[in-house]
Chain A
Amino acid sequence: MTLDLSLLPDGGVRWLDAAGAHSDVVLSTRVRLARNVDGYAFTGRARDGERLRVLVQLREALQVLPGLNDSFLVRIDELGPGDRALLFERHLVSKELAGLEPQHPLRTGAAVYLSDGLSVMINEEDHVRLQSLQSGFELRAAFAALDRVDRELGGRVPFSYHAEFGYLTACPTNVGTGMRASVLIHLPGLVLTKEIGRVLAGLQQMGLTYRGLYGEGSEVVGNFFQISNQTTLGRSEEDLLDQLIRVVGHVIEREEEARRVLLRDAGYIIEDKLWRAYGTLKYARSLTFDEAMNYLSGVRLAVGLKLIRGLSVYTLNKLLIFSQAAHLSAAEGRSLTESETNLARARYVRRALEEEAGSVG
């Protein structure tokens, strides 16, 4: 099976178009619902045949679901490692489903149903992981899109549900609503002013948690944080969303305040640092992923502070995705060594910035 993401509008990265609210600080919003098909063992304990039957049953139901445009199923278990890494880097599937975690080898029956802005992972930790990705800070819109598909799908396929506990999931941390709502937020101001530790500690007191760019277990790079609800049971979906909206709104205010303080107290130092980041990205001949992320973080801050003009947030967002190793390999049409990847990354970033260079100042 070959992977053709061009079938999706904008290759499945429309959530990076910076069209949503507060998109200079919040890159994207993601909401996911975990569900299991009744009558089968959960994915981790199911046999190959059971997972394949789950896949067939879900595919049949998804194909006739109204309102899922331009959608198609990708059998992850039939893809090579390069294509699987590509899907993961594009945030369309989890690392576990892509079979890229040493403790979770690729599973028979692993698949993803892709549609514009919405994807359904099949045979992840749970049989069904419905997820909606939106640009900017748009939690209610992301949930609304998902809620409709969840009802439609649940009306055709029986989900495991307990009258008291709610939706049943493999991991008890997801039981109840099965909902994890998260925002991918860029907080360089709070990191530079060293306020971040306090803000993150505050999140945990409010029942929220944070992770790195790639979700569970990933490190924080480039000052990007994923903030999400920690509990899924005992509160309604709306309550959980309202809480997250309130707290993230507050974090955005703190970030904006930190940026004002930086400009006021150390204006020229910040300006120099950020232009140096831009200069490095524009002229470097070799860039590691972490370097690229950190300099891109600086340039993003400079654009937010209007110190650098004429560079679009969309371009910066796309650089985050397309400068990753599997994307660079795909663009070159062959697998690259680590040093070749670093050279290709610098070349890619340089070209992308050159295309907009005429208007940058």
Chain B
Amino acid sequence: MLCDNCHQRDAVVNLTTIENNAVRQLHLCEQCAAERGVETSVATPKHPLGEFLQAVQQQSVPASADAGKCPFCGLTMKDFRATGRMGCARCYITFEPSMRELLRRVHGSPRHTGRPYRPPKDEVLERASVLGELRERLRRAIEQEQFEVAAELRDRIRVLE
């Protein structure tokens, strides 16, 4: 369908207006719709990421701080600028000055004031890893029909749980 106004471009906006209790239907191309002040951008939500990536490009921290790569995952700041994603938790420490600056730009503040995190105690982690191993052995014992071993493993798991 062609635009009701310019009769040249394809109509992409259906405009329904109510004036003096009369309904009027207009089919407009994007340009003519914009000229009439119709907000067509509603259909394309604004991406917070757009502004964020712009912030990434405008770092004011000296370039030397961004040299090198993350010792854990090997990410470089060049990789980050290309994808907008950090590679691992260690990246935040490796590029800390740049990240602090970036977080301030994106969020208005680099300081977390929400829930503090209490990591699991060492014995919890140890018990979890022992439990994981016992469950794996139990699965193998059942697969190999070693039911006596399985029963013993099951008892040990129950005690730990």
Find B119's partner among A159, A171, A265 (CB 8 Å cutoff). Answer: A159
Q: Is there an interface contact between A165 and B112, defined as CB atoms closer than 8 Å? A: yes
Q: Mark B36-50, 1 if CB is under 8 A from A, else 0.
A: 000101111111110
Asked if B132 lies at the interface with its beta carbon under 8 angstroms from chain A, I say yes
Q: Which residue of B lies closest to A194 (CB)?
A: B39
B93, B103, B110 pick with most chain A CB within 10 angstroms? B103
Least distance between A259 CB and chain B CB atoms (Å): 14
Residue on A nearest B74 in the bound complex, by CB: A45
Interface Cβ pair total, 8 Å cutoff: 169
Question: Are B106 and A236 within 8 A (Cβ)?
Answer: no
A154 with B119: in contact, given A45-B75, A173-B49, A204-B46 (CB under 8 Å)?
yes
Q: Which of B3-11, B82-90, B147-155 faces chain A?
A: B82-90
Nearest Cβ on chain A to B27's Cβ, whole angstroms:
16
Whether the pair B114, A38 counts as a contact (CB closer than 8 A) is no
Min C-beta distance of A53 to chain B, whole Å? 10
> What's the Cα separation between A150 and B114 when bound, in Å?
13
Known contacts being A41-B88, A45-B88, A56-B132, is A234 close to B107, with CB within 8 Å?
yes
Flag A162-193 by CB within 8 Å of B: 1 or 0 each: 10111111111101110100000000000100
B109 touches A209 (CB 8 A): no
Interface size counted on chain B using CB atoms at 8 A: 51
User: B101-115 toward A: CB 8 Å interface, digit per residue (1/0)?
Assistant: 011001111111111
Residues of A within 8 A of B107 (CB): 175-176, 231-234
Q: Is A280 an interface residue (CB 8 A)?
A: no
- Of residues B23, B89, B106, B118, which shows the largest number of chain A Cβ atoms within 10 Å of its Cβ? B89
Known: A57-B132, A60-B131, A219-B44. A172 touches B99 (CB 8 A): yes
Closest B residue to A40 by CB, please name it: B88
How does the 8 Å CB contact mask read for A132-162 relative to B, with 1 for contact and 0 for none? 0000000000000001001000111111111
Among the stretches A11-19, A210-218, A325-333, A347-355, the one at the interface with B is: A210-218
Output the least CB separation between B18 and chain A (Å): 5
Q: What is the bound-complex CA distance between A172 and B128, given in angstroms?
A: 30
Given known contacts A125-B85, A165-B112, A176-B112, is B119 in contact with A231 (CB within 8 Å)?
no
Interchain CB contact under 8 A, A172 and B132: no
Interface string of A191-228 (1 = CB under 8 A from B): 10010110010001000011110001111100000000
Which residues of A are interface residues toward B (Cβ below 8 A)? 36, 38, 40-42, 44-45, 56-57, 60-61, 64, 125, 147, 150, 154-162, 164-173, 175-177, 179, 191, 194, 196-197, 200, 204, 209-212, 216-220, 230-237, 265-266, 268-269, 273
12 more A-B residue pairs beyond the given contacts A157-B120, A200-B42, A232-B107, with a C-beta to C-beta distance below 8 A: A40-B88, A41-B88, A156-B128, A158-B120, A165-B111, A168-B89, A171-B86, A197-B41, A233-B106, A233-B107, A233-B110, A269-B23
- Give 5 A-B contacts (CB < 8 Å), ordered by A residue: A41-B72, A165-B99, A166-B112, A168-B89, A233-B106
Residues on B facing A (Cβ under 8 Å): 18, 21, 23, 39, 41-49, 52, 72-73, 75, 83-89, 92-93, 99-100, 102-103, 106-115, 117-120, 124-125, 128, 131-132, 135, 161
